[in-house]
């Protein structure tokens, strides 16, 4: 067992005040669905190894985000095989392989984006040189600019109109998905248009993306050598799409929109939580700066060599894993919708239409798995003579942050590198302090744990 019943009970309480009166599966009002939580090693293994024809991640995504109405008529199939595996090749293989090349560019993009924010920020309360920014909004703008650079290329990212639309779009999808939960399907389209200001962000993205994608699709037969092709996700999606039944421009753009949607929010939230943990555990600010300086011997403490050896920053890796362990942006993970009744080996039934999931927040605070679980210990995952280190990107039943099994997040190597680059840049370039009005830093929405947008960070260049 990875977690005892008390852990699940604690988690039930977290997602539903009515847990005590329910037997599994039970209806969770805040999730608006029947939920079966699995937390033993054996059950989790069964969940991730179950046939995808019966337990489907994409059916969950379709239910939550209504891609038909939010992603330009995107038809997502409950049967995951029908959706193909392009995203794994693009994110897990091509994007990951390009990380050493793109990280310096992305650091520069993030630097420029932060300068834009600082130019708009108000004067901080801590004296000369300090600037106040809203932390979560700033994080979303930085992550959106960085991701846009590698998804869409420099030219589009430098266009303020496109950048604003790219930033607004994921938020539009979340809000529309929520409202459509309560809307009869007959009215879904007009309601979707209303809640996204007539689909303003999506229309802007389409206006920019359609001609670019169209042109690149047409040049697919020209045998352009790889070194002369643009090196961004648009190109990788086109190159990884089927060669026989070719995708239309519309379908290609839908796929790009879906990938874009998934790339911004969780990464922004992880950055915010890492900043909270740095401020709450200031000893690590010094220790992490020392580690970065040691990785940059040639250029001294102010150099940028640490970026070339991100994998060598073991304390930073362990610190970020600890931050994600204590502060995941969602209290559940590994969601799967049952397309027909499914019974686990111990008899637990996941009825058709219900979700099964893993209570990651509860598991990640289980004292049986993590001694002194509520204490922040940035060294916790470094390993010892007896146990190997656990890396930020290592999925496991006791750390299901990235999901598990075949569907484990294909963007995790990119996400972890960007997170390290952003946190490393803050450590190297700025002093910072965080203040939360009334001390409240987060709110919960369904199972998500979201940073409050009124939390302020004050920063000063070093």
Please give the annotated binding residues for heme, written as ranges. Answer: 409
CB atoms within 10 A of CB 165: 22
Query: Are 225 and 186 in contact, with CB atoms under 8 Å apart?
Result: no
What is the DSSP track for 98-127?
Answer: THHHHHHHHHHHHHHHHHHHHHHSEEPTTS
Residue 342, token pair as written in the block? 């499914």
Closest CA relative to residue 1, chosen from 405, 401, 398, 406 = 398
**Residue 273 Cβ vs ligand HEM, minimum distance, rounded to whole Å:** 10
Q: Which residues bind ligand HEM (CB under 6 A)?
A: 57, 87, 91, 259, 262-263, 266-267, 270, 333-335, 401-404, 407-411, 414-415
The H-or-E segment that residue 71 falls in is none
Residues comprising the chain, all counted: 462
**Residue 76 Cβ vs ligand HEM, minimum distance, rounded to whole Å:** 10
**Residue 256 Cβ vs ligand HEM, minimum distance, rounded to whole Å:** 11
Residues 6+ away with beta carbon under 8 Å from 111: 425, 429
Query: Are 180 and 64 in contact, with CB atoms under 8 Å apart?
Result: no
CA distances from 299 to 34, 69, 293, 295, 306 (A): 56, 51, 9, 10, 10
CA distances from 334 to 4, 274, 349 (A): 19, 23, 17
User: Rounded to 5 degrees, what are φ and ψ at 272?
Assistant: -60, -45
Give residue for tokens 């999901």: 403
Residue whose beta carbon is closest to ligand HEM: 403
CB atoms within 10 A of CB 297: 9
Choose between 87 and 134: whose C-beta lies nearer to ligand HEM.
Answer: 87
């Amino acid at each position: 067992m990875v977690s005892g019943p008390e852990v699940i009970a604690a988690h039930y309480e977290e997602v539903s005040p009515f847990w005590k009166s329910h037997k599994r599966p039970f209806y969770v009002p805040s999730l608006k669905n029947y939920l079966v939580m699995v937390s033993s090693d054996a059950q989790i293994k069964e969940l991730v190894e179950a046939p995808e024809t019966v337990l489907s991640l994409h059916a969950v995504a379709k239910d939550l985000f209504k891609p038909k109405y939010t992603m330009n008529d995107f038809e997502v199939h409950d049967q995951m095989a029908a959706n193909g595996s392009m995203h794994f090749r693009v994110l897990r293989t091509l994007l990951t392989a390009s990380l050493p090349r793109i990280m310096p560019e992305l650091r520069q993009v993030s630097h420029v984006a932060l300068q834009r924010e600082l130019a708009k920020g108000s004067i901080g309360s801590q004296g000369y040189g300090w600037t106040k920014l809203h932390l979560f909004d700033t994080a979303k703008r930085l992550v959106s600019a960085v991701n846009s650079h590698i998804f869409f290329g420099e030219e589009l990212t430098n266009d303020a109109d496109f950048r604003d639309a790219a930033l607004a779009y994921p938020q539009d999808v979340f809000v529309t998905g929520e409202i459509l939960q309560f809307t009869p399907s007959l009215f879904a389209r007009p309601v979707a248009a209303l809640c996204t200001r007539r689909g303003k962000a999506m229309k802007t993205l389409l206006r920019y993306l359609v001609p670019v994608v169209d042109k690149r699709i047409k040049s697919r037969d020209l045998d352009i050598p790889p070194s002369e092709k643009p090196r961004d996700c648009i190109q990788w999606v086109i190159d990884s799409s089927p060669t026989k039944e070719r995708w239309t421009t519309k379908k290609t753009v839908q796929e790009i929109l879906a990938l874009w949607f998934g790339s911004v929010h969780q990464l922004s939230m992880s950055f915010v939580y890492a900043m909270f943990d740095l401020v709450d555990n200031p000893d690590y600010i010094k220790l992490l700066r020392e580690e970065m300086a040691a990785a940059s011997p040639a250029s001294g403490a102010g150099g940028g060599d640490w970026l070339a050896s991100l994998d060598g920053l073991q304390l930073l890796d362990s610190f970020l894993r600890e931050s994600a362990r204590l502060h995941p942006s969602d209290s559940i993970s590994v969601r799967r919708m049952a397309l027909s009744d499914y019974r686990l080996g111990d008899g637990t039934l996941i009825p058709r239409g219900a979700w099964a999931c893993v209570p990651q927040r509860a598991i990640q605070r289980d004292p049986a798995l993590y001694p002194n679980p509520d204490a922040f210990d940035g060294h916790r995952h470094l390993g010892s003579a007896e146990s190997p280190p656990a890396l930020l990107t290592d999925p496991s039943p006791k750390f299901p942050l990235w999901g598990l099994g075949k569907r484990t997040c294909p963007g995790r190597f990119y996400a972890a590198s960007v997170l390290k680059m952003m946190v490393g840049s803050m450590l190297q370039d700025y002093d910072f302090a965080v203040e939360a009005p009334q001390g409240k830093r987060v709110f919960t929405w369904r199972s998500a744990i979201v940073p409050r947008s009124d939390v302020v960070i004050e920063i000063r260049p070093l």
